[in-house]
Structure 1
């Protein structure tokens, strides 16, 4: 018998609508010499996390979540057609935590050197990966600012546990990779940080906005003000999106869930505004543990934020 009837290859969608293109279909494996408008890299490190975390599984989960969306924005009447060059995931050794952070930096340095694109989506991993990726981006573009969406300052000291997911921005500041007044923290949550780390931020001139600030002043007004200020100081802006900036009701897959955070509408408004700004050239998404997520809710929000970034850059 030469043909088996009704057989479909494993992994294909059960149902396919001839008029619908899924967002996951935008991903294209990187080939040497290829260039495009957007690049994507997985940074699957979570062993430096100070709490239990399976965030190393997040890059794959977020890619899969793109299958739940189409490429058409009805709001913008825009079809996303530009492929995303997917470099895959950087290799992480099972036990070598410090070495892994070096590998992330070296790998990102090499990837940026390909000149494959000027706009990047980086999928963590816990927040420790941002130290390596921001350091690599800073070396390429020299003058960068960082807008960090986060419930936490991530200014923890390294003496009590080494370079963990709670230390990346302290390390970046202490090593002079970024300047304090070029770091903007959005969504810092009440009863989630120590006074010493709040004071550390103030001493270094970091612009810190609590959830109270966001509720009172509005995320759009805050971002407009900080974007205007940063535009006078830096040439490029990097977004670091820690998904625990969201309230636990919206992001159950974060290792450090808690009440009093953003809702998804606030986050969409913030990312959509920043995506339209020419100086924004990279966004990392960190702190999703798919092993504790509920119906992939948190990964689906992350995938949606990727689409908001692409939409803003395509309009």
Structure 2
């Protein structure tokens, strides 16, 4: 199931004169193994097949390694172990099998009492990530209510026929919830009106999606946003947090398939992530759409690493 991780990427500056308090991530991250002590399990999904199907700009396949490299020299402030559990790719263009494998890995990590933190890759990863959490939920005596919080400029609720893409994962999840007779709780924050058709807004409304436009997510609206998020969290037992980096302003995250003309400020995003973590309900998180080929001086990779570190703490 798991591909042995390439631990050579975990290297960087070493502050020997500082002793134990001068430790960095690359000195602490170890390869995950069955039976490892509970902690954070990093996992890569180097896949862009969904982006290609969605007619986006490809390059996200190399995102996971770029995030690892950016994170390697971050100062270590963790109090729990962090593991690298390797990657699940999509070299044969069979996205559906790759998503199922990703879900299987998420489920296995949850069974091992790990917190899965997945690095993409295109946002098609969301359907695979959710499948793993959904399967794990149905192993419980009383299946918990799952809520999805997506920071994204796009609803990703596009209609689809036989095959999904990076634009369809939450419609696929909604359809699966309907088929298994479970509620679809979805909150999408940072939606750009210019990037979503009337059909997508109508579908979001029909599905009862809780959402806010990017223009409603400045610091001046932070209290309102927090209240909306808190009301959503209250309805859920478990949370799945997914971040599409294109929710951030293009100046902060240029290395994505569709850079945002406006976006949501990092100071707002980090505050809301802290609220999500404080709920005690977060079970799974992922970061999608880093495209190193389009990045400028690693701005987007460094931002992704910062967010990943914030979620992991």
- Give the TM-score normalised by structure 2: 0.85
Q: Which residue of 2 aligns with 1:46?
A: 48
SS in 1 for 2:287: strand
Q: Which residue of 1 aligns with 2:215?
A: 212
Tell me whether 24-33 or 235-244 shows the greater mean CA deviation. Answer: 24-33
2:9, 2:65 within 8 Å by CA — same for their partners in 1? Answer: no
2:10, 2:27 within 8 Å by CA — same for their partners in 1? Answer: no
Q: How far does residue 253 in structure 1 lie from its aligned partner after superposition?
A: 0.6
Q: How far does residue 56 in structure 1 lie from its aligned partner after superposition?
A: 1.5
Picking from 100, 103, 109, the partner of 2:98 is 100
Is 1:134 aligned to residue 136 of structure 2?
A: no
Picking from 221, 238, 246, the partner of 1:244 is 246
Picking from 81, 101, 107, the partner of 1:109 is 107
* Alpha-carbon distance in 2 for matches of 1:218, 1:274: 17
Q: Go from structure 1 to structure 2 and tell me whether the alpha carbon gap of 1:96 and 1:190 turns closer, same or farther (over 3 Å shift).
A: same
Picking from 200, 204, 208, the partner of 1:197 is 200
Q: Go from structure 1 to structure 2 and tell me whether the alpha carbon gap of 1:288 and 1:10 turns closer, same or farther (over 3 Å shift).
A: closer
* Alpha-carbon distance in 2 for matches of 1:192, 1:280: 28
Q: Which residue of 1 aligns with 2:177?
A: 176
Q: How far does residue 26 in structure 1 lie from its aligned partner after superposition?
A: 3.2
Q: Go from structure 1 to structure 2 and tell me whether the alpha carbon gap of 1:225 and 1:26 turns closer, same or farther (over 3 Å shift).
A: farther
> Structure 1 stretches of 5 or more lacking a match?
1-8, 72-78
Q: Which residue of 2 aligns with 1:18?
A: 17
Q: Which residue of 2 aligns with 1:67?
A: 72
**RMSD of the alignment, in Å?**
2.3
SS in 2 for 1:170: helix
Q: How far does residue 58 in structure 1 lie from its aligned partner after superposition?
A: 1.0
Q: How many residues are paired up? A: 291
* Alpha-carbon distance in 1 for matches of 2:103, 2:312: 25
* Alpha-carbon distance in 2 for matches of 1:11, 1:108: 22
Superimposed CA distance per residue, residues 26-80 of structure 1 (whole angstroms, 9 cap, x where no aligned partner): 3210122112222211111112212122112111111111134212xxxxxxx32
Is 1:234 aligned to residue 211 of structure 2?
A: no
2:122, 2:288 within 8 Å by CA — same for their partners in 1? Answer: yes
> Structure 2 stretches of 5 or more lacking a match?
1-7, 138-142
SS in 1 for 2:293: coil
Q: How far does residue 200 in structure 1 lie from its aligned partner after superposition?
A: 0.2
Q: Which residue of 1 aligns with 2:120?
A: 124
Q: Which residue of 2 aligns with 1:296?
A: 298
Superimposed CA distance per residue, residues 191-243 of structure 1 (whole angstroms, 9 cap, x where no aligned partner): 01110011000011111111122138624542343224432x32111111001
Q: How far does residue 111 in structure 1 lie from its aligned partner after superposition?
A: 3.4
Q: Which residue of 1 aligns with 2:5?
A: none
* Alpha-carbon distance in 2 for matches of 1:105, 1:253: 26
Tell me whether 292-301 or 273-282 shows the greater mean CA deviation. Answer: 273-282
Q: Which residue of 1 aligns with 2:29?
A: 27
* Alpha-carbon distance in 2 for matches of 1:273, 1:241: 15
* Alpha-carbon distance in 2 for matches of 1:310, 1:108: 16
Structure with the largest fraction of helix: 2
2:188, 2:209 within 8 Å by CA — same for their partners in 1? Answer: yes
